[in-house]
A and B are shown apart, each in its own frame.
Chain A
């Protein structure tokens, strides 16, 4: 295909931090048709530009930030940016999605994607403006936290559209789960993109632009748009629950269905009054100042909260549970305070919580001792240590240096990797896989390591999927079910829209909007095909990075130590793991080792990787 579809600018910005070279490259129109944008386009661009076997923290790692065609339209939630890179945590593909307003601002600069490679000799920021693009020194903001950096780079800006994407001290110090932040508190959180930025001496990207995009077939686009808003106003979660309770509104529900982790996933038993302390309802009553939404979001799940004199955002469900009950902590204010701090330091709260929980278990078992922890009694329930530990991690001080490596490397360093609740070295989010085979398989097969979003948000179907509710313990249904969930997530990430729209609808309105916007055929069937293609390329990246089928598994705890689910003892047996993994591969058209078969590659027209 040679003609550029509508909805994109047709340009990629390539920045080499080692040489200081800044270049424009044309966007292959065929890649829009085959990979859309966001996650899909970013994945393909990364795959073509990187030696996947490189060290994630070396100059050869490549960062791709891709906008999507829908960004710049008025489609609901269409403001989410996507960043792909080799993960500092897993060694496989890093793929992180974020709300906020930076991505629309980036697209308004006239580019569809930004590719960053190399390493600057000293801290820099990339400044992208209508009149010029520059790599500027950033020594004056190196060492500042995310909020300070954002304020410093926006101060004095006449253009109110200026937006800042940056890392905090955690990224500078290459904490393996460091985040990249925009709008002060919105995180590209998982997989350690902040560490990769830090390794490149890249502190921030400031953007300001005014380029707009046009819709090709307004009537078709509008029909999808109207449908999407109509449906968002209908579904309970999207019309009210997320605004009233935020994602923390899940805490009570997930506990009711025996899926709320406790003490590093040792069990799922909580006292009701403890759970209530960290519920979305309590958060709304005690700390919530206001709800708000990301760019063009009618749902408004953001929690703008206040603890004492301090204002901030959060906590979301995952943060609440991973730093809370998974560490045996039910102190809402302590969790919220450290959430603020993680945002300022630029750290993924899921991996932060999961790493602390692991360290606490190691300590309680005597594997980690006071001499290893700077004298800290690192026991479950120590909410008083949270702030201090966050700072030590971000600045790699004392025990913080160990914790900054994530729970897998920590536990392995002390001879007990089995106490790390990770998949592909990334911490498992706040849904116990023993309470849903589908969720377990989603974690296992997520290309980025354990992730509730990249792994297919199965829990949302198992318990509040409405007509889509699925069995929790079906070996037969889980593989295709999770493949389809993965695929929907891939498309949402590639369209630049929010996962939570999936509570109201799946592909249909997006297909119409994309077809109307671009003038290309983006039928639902085509979107499914694109999702399969992107999943295959992500897999190819991971294989090239050295990951194998052995990485698509659960920690042994989940097959050996049962939890009670609806009165029944549940594990995910090793046989179940093996069968589901194999069936998932088959559903994808991959062989027994998880290699996409030649027939699959041909049918998806993936083509050979271009030379980096």
Chain B
């Protein structure tokens, strides 16, 4: 085997740096927490485990924070490597796995705490949002560990869990996820954290979470619009329209904003700009600036093999004059859509802003069931420009620009935060909503 050095390749360094920075931007790590690992074959054909060094700052990884280890033996690379290297090594040994991430993912970590006597087997986490449910195979295992950091016990249990599930939670510590690529593993920890956040929000809104989980468990098809597209790993650098420099920049700006403002978890959601015979389509709308995602030009007509997600874009365009569409999974909206006003029998059918900007932009925002048809969705988009689909994300449109569409979910997130905050303080939302909004 070739002698190791700390001079990692530019590609590997850049990958770790960009995912590391993204993990800090998405607030799933503290300054030094977590670790990332990949299997890597160098130019000479040597195989390595590449892992972040122990105590490194994931938001500012330096070349000497990237450790190359032998997958087969203990060597000097191990001195600096993560304290959880053994866990990652075993995860990477799983069939089809080439990357793993551990992140502190505070939202799902907090929502999976319990105060039971230890040791115990905590209840698994059941996501109630479509991204969490489908991308995390319906269940995220949760385990209590006597030594919940870098322990042999963890090195045994976590790979076992990940052999069956995309992600797993160690109680009071965080999430481990596997992936075919580092970006896929990162996608999964983001989705897990988002799923935890949605549940936390639901609890803050005093929504019957267990009842909702039961309904999801009993019938995910009825609870969600459709399964989100499978995560793809080989097309992130594809751009079909490099000559459209201004539109390209708009996609990049909007994608970064969706991610950084947490309007949708990493590489989730979708957005498009319509041309006359084709549309420019970003199937992973939430794109950190340095990572990006695929940017496709596709026909406007529905084609065999189109995902349900892209079909919605095409169907909306076919039934309207809109020029831009954005679909985001805004967690605050996902939770708000299940909110039941005290005294009401069912969840709300419109979100009424109580903040100044929200009222300025949206007098009301309709909330519709998961299986709402395209015709009704288009009708509402015409009238309101943004629609929350309970169990189906947030759809927004623009007559002219991506920026215009972007403003809707962004504003909606703030609207929901105001409402959630007011409710938590015991304020009467009905009294705070403009009366006329009931008719708008």
Contacts and interface: CB of A to CB of B under 8 A. Distances in A.
Interface of A: 219-220, 222-223, 226-227, 230-231, 234, 461, 465, 467-477, 479-481, 483-485, 487-488, 506, 508, 511-512, 523-525, 528, 532, 583-584, 586-587
Contacts of A219: 439
B244 A476 contact: yes
B276 A583 contact: yes
A472 B276 CA distance: 17
A508 B383 contact: yes
Contact of A586 (B277, B379, B382, B401): B277
A479 B378 CA distance: 22
B241 interface: yes
B246 interface: yes
Contacts of B383: 508, 511, 523-525
Given A226-B436, A234-B360, A476-B273, A525 B382 contact: yes
A525 B276 CA distance: 19
B135 interface: no
- Interface class of chain A by DSSP: helix
Contacts of A525: 320, 378-379, 382-383
A223 B382 contact: no
Interface of B: 241, 244, 246-247, 250, 273-277, 280, 320-321, 323, 360, 363, 378-379, 382-383, 385, 398-401, 403-404, 406-407, 436, 439-440
B243 to A, nearest CB: 9
B401 A468 contact: yes
B241 A467 contact: no
Contacts of B400: 461, 465, 468, 470, 481, 484-485
A115 to B, nearest CB: 31
A479 B274 CA distance: 10
6 contacts: A461-B400, A465-B400, A476-B241, A523-B383, A525-B382, A532-B321
Nearest to A471: B246
B401 A512 contact: no
Nearest to B434: A226
Given A223-B440, A226-B436, A475-B244, 17 more contacts: A219-B439, A223-B439, A467-B406, A470-B400, A470-B401, A474-B247, A477-B246, A477-B275, A479-B275, A481-B400, A481-B401, A484-B399, A487-B321, A512-B440, A523-B379, A583-B275, A587-B276
Contacts of A226: 436
B384 to A, nearest CB: 8
A590 to B, nearest CB: 11
B320 A467 contact: no
Contacts of A222: 436
Contacts of A223: 436, 439-440
B399 A506 contact: yes
Contacts of B398: 467-468
B138 to A, nearest CB: 38
B321 A476 contact: no
B360 A230 contact: yes
7 A-B pairs with the lowest CB-CB distances in the bound complex, closest first: A471-B246, A583-B276, A524-B382, A525-B382, A476-B275, A467-B407, A468-B400
A469 B320 contact: no
Contacts of B320: 525, 528
Contacts of A230: 360
B246 A474 contact: yes
A480 B363 contact: no
B435 to A, nearest CB: 11
A587 to B, nearest CB: 5
B323 A477 contact: yes
Contacts of B363: 227
Contacts of A484: 321, 323, 399-400
Contact of A528 (B241, B321, B401, B407): B321
A382 to B, nearest CB: 40
Contacts of A508: 383, 385
A231 B379 CA distance: 22
Which has the most chain B C-beta neighbours within 10 Å: A461, A471, A508?
Answer: A471
A481 B244 contact: no
A508 B407 CA distance: 16
Contacts of A470: 400-401
A477 B273 CA distance: 8
A521 B379 CA distance: 12
Nearest to A437: B246
Contacts of B247: 471, 474, 476-477
Which has the most chain A C-beta neighbours within 10 Å: B246, B276, B280, B406?
Answer: B276
Nearest to A480: B323
Contacts of B379: 523, 525
A224 to B, nearest CB: 9
B440 A483 contact: no
